Amino acid sequence: MELVFLGPPGAGKGTHAQMLCKKAQLAHLAAGDILRKNVKDGTPLGIKAKAVMESGALVSDELVNNMMFDAIRSLRGFKGFVLDGYPRTLGQAEALEKFLTGQKMSLTAAINFDASEKVVVERLSGRRGCPKCGKIYHVKNMPPKRENVCDVDGETLTTRKDDEPETIRHRLKVYHESTKPLIEFYRKRQLLQDVAADGDAPSVQKVLEKFFEKLS
Ligand code: AMP
């Protein structure tokens, strides 16, 4: 099963991709996570991407496309993948389609996480993450067992630099201008599945699992 997760930052794409991938043996390919790892490791890609990411703008299509194609090509032993936060522009969506056709693959569905601006801002400003294993928490909605400490490995949780209020506003603007048109792109291809994403994580996950059963 080859899925794309669409939606504004804070819609829950990462949280739900983590849960679904674990259950269904799918690879979770999160463009933002792969970019952040490159920044942390100081790779040539990370050096180019760092300032752009901190400002809340998008890294160039060419860099992100190549990065994601490499990630897909090197997958082994999974039953498919979830692309989380990719594609994010029409150019990326077209390039992905061409790439998958060349690999004799195609998308099963594009899941659109439909979340309101109010909910998204609240989620992003309370979001915390484990710098070691990547597990995502929320100070109110999904707190760790011990305050500010990862349940999995005991690391101190961190806040992403681009989750500051000013940068959140910019990221939402970028979403509306560059990424929202992908909803129509995938609807035209009859791949779009809308999921109401304002609810809490367990109820959204239930809806997703139903979709997943239907698609399998
Ligand atoms: P995310 O973790 O998905 O919120 O992504 C964090 C940041 O990484 C974004 O604000 C962008 O700067 C960059 N990024 C992630 N995915 C993409 C993409 N598909 N295209 C361009 N930039 C991206």
Cβ burial of 54 (10 Å; 0-12, 13-18, 19+) is middle
pLDDT tens string 144-185: 999 999 999 999 999 988 898 889 989 999 999 999 999 999
Q: Say if ligand 1 is within 6 A of residue 28 CB.
A: no
Largest CA distance in the chain: 48
pLDDT, residue 212, reads: 87
Chain center to CA of 81: 12
Assess if residue 20 is contained within a domain. Answer: yes
Assess if residue 158 is contained within a domain. Answer: no
**Contact criterion met (CB below 8 Å) for 31 and 68:** yes
CATH number of the domain to which 189 belongs: 3.40.50.300
Q: Say if ligand 1 is within 6 A of residue 19 CB.
A: no
pLDDT, residue 216, reads: 80
Q: Whose CA is nearest to atom 10 of ligand 1?
A: 56
Mutate-to-test residue for ligand 1 from 37, 53, 121, highest number of ligand atoms within 8 A of CB: 53
Assess if residue 73 is contained within a domain. Answer: yes
pLDDT, residue 160, reads: 87
Assess if residue 64 is contained within a domain. Answer: yes
**Contact criterion met (CB below 8 Å) for 84 and 13:** yes
DSSP state of 142: B
First-last CA distance in the chain: 7
pLDDT, residue 90, reads: 98
Assess if residue 83 is contained within a domain. Answer: yes
Distance CA 83, CA 3 (A): 6
pLDDT, residue 204, reads: 94
pLDDT tens string 6-55: 999 999 999 999 999 999 999 999 999 999 999 999 999 999 999 999 99
pLDDT tens string 49-80: 999 999 999 999 999 999 999 999 999 999 99
Assess if residue 154 is contained within a domain. Answer: no
pLDDT, residue 164, reads: 87
Cα distances from 112 to residues 31, 73, 102, 105, 192, in angstroms, run 16, 25, 25, 21, 7
Mean pLDDT of 72-97: 97
Assess if residue 66 is contained within a domain. Answer: yes
Do you find a cis peptide bond into 87, omega within 30 degrees of 0?
Answer: yes
Q: How many structural domains are present in the chain?
A: 1
Which sequence positions are flagged as catalytic?
Answer: 13, 88, 127, 160, 171
Q: Is the pLDDT of residue 128 over 90?
A: yes
Q: 197 is in which domain, residue-wise?
A: 2-116+173-215
Distance CA 38, CA 32 (A): 10
Mean pLDDT of 134-153: 94
Beta strands across the sheet bearing 192-196: 27-30, 81-84, 2-6, 109-114, 192-196
Assess if residue 125 is contained within a domain. Answer: no
